[in-house]
Amino acid sequence: MSQHQPIIGLTVYGPQDDKGFNIPHEYVQGIVEAGGIPMLLPPVGAEFVARWLDRVDGLVLAGGGDIDPSHYGNSGHETIYNLDVNRDLTEMALARLALQRHIPTLAICRGMQVVNVALGGTLHPHLPEIYGEQVEHRVAPRDPVEHSVRVTPGSRLAEIMGTRTVHTSSWHHQSLDRLGAGLKAVAWADDGCIEAVELTANDRFIAVQWHPEHSIDRDPTQQTLFRELVKMAAATAAAPPPAAAP
């Protein structure tokens, strides 16, 4: 790790059931073990987003509850849960500005969906109605499940993880439908569900539908995502500022 230990912004869940802001500890573990300094970004609206991004070297858009379907022109579904207006507004603004600035970003599960919607894409509201039950992406009531994912050879994701077959911990009931501007799919479950996307014009962006933080202790390939994020953030922070115009 370079002398500059990069600061990684990490989005968190909004208050639920009278509890305060929170985030599963595995996200923090993944950042710390990769050599980054985590900084928690609470869902308080878009007001602070630009100043946060002035101070961080990288960003993790974490998983969590569903995005309000009004953001992608859908009427909703009975299975949608844990809607959070402030979190949606905060993370949509974070995603747009971070991508505009090419800030190294790792988007996980909900985070990948946030980026897709922020770029004009849409979501499947409930996967079993689209892909059936060939692959379980979440088991009742709302528990994670493991399944394999096929990664496109030659993709940035395949390069980072060093494999074309990833064994994932999955915990979602929605997925990407129409891709947002500039996104391309690079990984799929066996049922055809999109499991990872990249940006054609931004190689500092990684997005996966599964939860790598769930299995970093037992599967070293999952920690490579956090290591790559911190590596990119350190390199970006160490780069000299652009020359001033004459």
Give the tens place of pLDDT for each residue, 99-154: 999 999 999 999 999 999 999 999 999 999 999 988 999 887 778 999 999 999 99
Q: Active-site residue among 91, 213, 214, 228?
A: 213
Percent of the chain with pLDDT over 70: 95
Tell me which of 147, 172, 211, 214 is the catalytic residue. Answer: 211
* The pairing of beta strand 58-61 with beta strand 37-41: unpaired
CB distance 61 to 225 below 8 Å: no
Residues 43-67 have pLDDT tens digits of 999 999 999 999 999 999 999 999 9
What is the distance, to the nearest Å, from the Cα of residue 166 to the centroid of all Cα atoms in its chain? 17
* Cα→Cα distances 174→59, 63, 195, Å: 23, 12, 11
Rg (CA), the chain: 17
Catalytic residue status for 129? no
- Is residue 211 part of the annotated active site? The answer reads yes
Q: Topology of 7-238 in CATH?
A: Rossmann fold (3.40.50)
Whole-number Cα distances in Å, 205 to 26, 89, 98, 114, 157:
20, 20, 10, 13, 10
Q: Which of 109, 172, 173, 228 is catalytic?
A: 109
Residue 239 pLDDT grade (very low, low, confident, very high; cuts 50, 70, 90)? confident
Q: Is the pLDDT of residue 12 over 60?
A: yes
Active site (annotated) includes residue 78: no
What is the percentage of the chain residues whose pLDDT exceeds 90?
85
Cα distance between residue 225 and residue 8, in whole Å: 13
Give the residue-averaged pLDDT of 188-192: 97
Residue 112 has a pLDDT of: 98
Q: Which amino acid is at 59?
A: L
Mean pLDDT of 92-97: 98
